[in-house]
Amino acid sequence: MDRVRIGNGCGFWGDNLDAPARLARTGHLHYLTLEYLAELTMSILALIKAKDASAGYATDFIDVLQSLAPTLREQPNLKIVTNAGGMNPHACARAAQAALAKAGITKRVAVVSGDDLYPRLDELFATGHELRHLDDGAPLSTIRDKVVSANAYLGAEPIARALKLGAEIVITGRVADASLTVGPAAHEFGWGFGESDSDRLAAGTVAGHLIECGAQATGGLWVNADATTRLEDVGYPIAEIAADGTFTISKPANTGGAVNVETVAEQLLYEVADPARYFTPDVVADFTTVKLSQLAPNVVGVTGGTANGTTDTYKVSISYRDGFASAGTLVITGPNAVAKARASGAIILEKLKAAGFTFAHSYVEVIGAGDVVPGVLPKGAPPEVVMRVAVRDPRKAAVERFTKEFAPLVTSGFAGTTGYTVGRPPVREVFAYWPALIAKSAVAPKVEVL
């Protein structure tokens, strides 16, 4: 084909369940991508899988697949690429096949795996792969007993390989977000994964990055959005990519949101440290060469996006247990609301100290007084604020005791204390993030067509 239309209907696990079916129905797509995974998501899925070997994937995908059944019948050539497999892509694929069979639909489903390094950690340590923390250089072995998950960010090559084998639905574990788009483009246009096609891979990476967060590219979080943007009806993004890597960003006709140079530029710089060196397993992309132009209402043309080298490593996302945390809130109203809220937070911590409980980390903030965005909002005297107190500590019992100090302030605190209507705040386990690198030679992506 001359151009491939790839629409992304999901930016994270928890995104709008209706968006994928709507995008597929009205977007005239060749490929629908669905992006479910974040660093925290992987640790949650790892714990779920530990309790149930048949679980550990983004279950929303199965609901979405059922909603897509009418469109898949009407558009039999539509293909789906998703990382919904999470920590258990094979189980996800089996559930997907069952959902399709129930709807009377047969599709060739492929699984991309090999990203899960957790079962191999001791083997990797023994062969010299220390998985050192990218910030402080500490080896992962120092917290080995606390590790919950360890996943390499695979790239687009195994996705393209699965499509070449005839897959119509590709389900992966952890892959780089942009690779969900690069894989189909590389397959359709015959791009290789070497030096000769590196600029095209970089351009495809820009396209994938622009649509990976769903409606963030089509008006969501746009600084100039207002009531006329119709975010209640927001359309999700479509990248229409040509063989040379140039592409457009648009959304389905007659949907809310906006696609303009501002919305696309805002998403281009999302989660980017150095725009000249955006690292992916496929290529290092230079975003400083990107040029945006408004071609038509809700259509932005994108050129540039060149290669700035490649890497011989994969990034590894590791999560580990790091204690317990809780946060609670109370509403404080009336004169001197801000001062009373700060004093109320101090009272909670002082009472706990008197009872013998101090915490590794504690924080009091007053929402409405500018604490969330310090130095941005003008100072004033709001008539009501939300006091929020949070703690974190290795001892679960200490955090549980913390949760019992909010309710007493409703009668023993300052006048105007209210809002205690949802019970004690919950205690949650904290999973910390450990970023590392590993040699690509130590990881073997695997593709299976079921």
How much is the pLDDT for 54?
94
pLDDT at 443 over 90: yes
SS3 state at 174: coil
For 322-432, CATH gives 3.30.70
95: left (phi over 0), alpha (psi -120 to 50) or beta: alpha
Instruction: Please write the tens of the pLDDT for every residue from 68-82.
Output: 999 999 999 999 999
Average pLDDT over residues 283-311: 98
Sign for the CA dihedral angle at 158, 161, 166, 168 comes to positive
Decide: 433 and 317 in contact? Cβ < 8 Å: yes
Instruction: Please write the tens of the pLDDT for every residue from 38-78.
Output: 888 998 999 999 899 999 999 999 999 999 999 999 999 99
The band of 420, judged by pLDDT with boundaries at 50, 70 and 90, is low
d(CA 256, CA 240): 19
Decide: 297 and 261 in contact? Cβ < 8 Å: no
Decide: 307 and 257 in contact? Cβ < 8 Å: no
Radius of gyration of the chain (CA): 24
Q: Where are the domains of the chain?
A: 3-115+153-311, 322-432
Q: What's the N-to-C CA distance of the chain in angstroms?
A: 26
pLDDT at 372 over 90: no
pLDDT at 286 over 90: yes
The band of 447, judged by pLDDT with boundaries at 50, 70 and 90, is very high
Virtual torsion, Cα 195, 196, 198, 204, nearest 10 deg: -150
pLDDT at 224 over 90: yes
∠ CA 358-361-367, rounded to 5°: 110
The band of 209, judged by pLDDT with boundaries at 50, 70 and 90, is very high
pLDDT at 378 over 80: no
pLDDT at 391 over 70: yes
Task: Tell me which amino acid residue 29 is.
Answer: L
d(CA 261, CA 291): 10
Which helix (DSSP H) or strand (DSSP E) does residue 294 occupy? strand 291-296
What residues are paired with 393 via a beta bridge? 324
CA atoms within 13 A on the CB side of 360: 13
d(CA 301, CA 305): 12
Instruction: Please write the tens of the pLDDT for every residue from 251-261.
Output: 999 999 999 99
Task: Quickly count: other Cβ atoms within 10 Å of residue 307's Cβ.
Answer: 20
Average pLDDT of every residue of the chain:
96
**127: nearest Cα among 113, 137, 143, 141:** 141
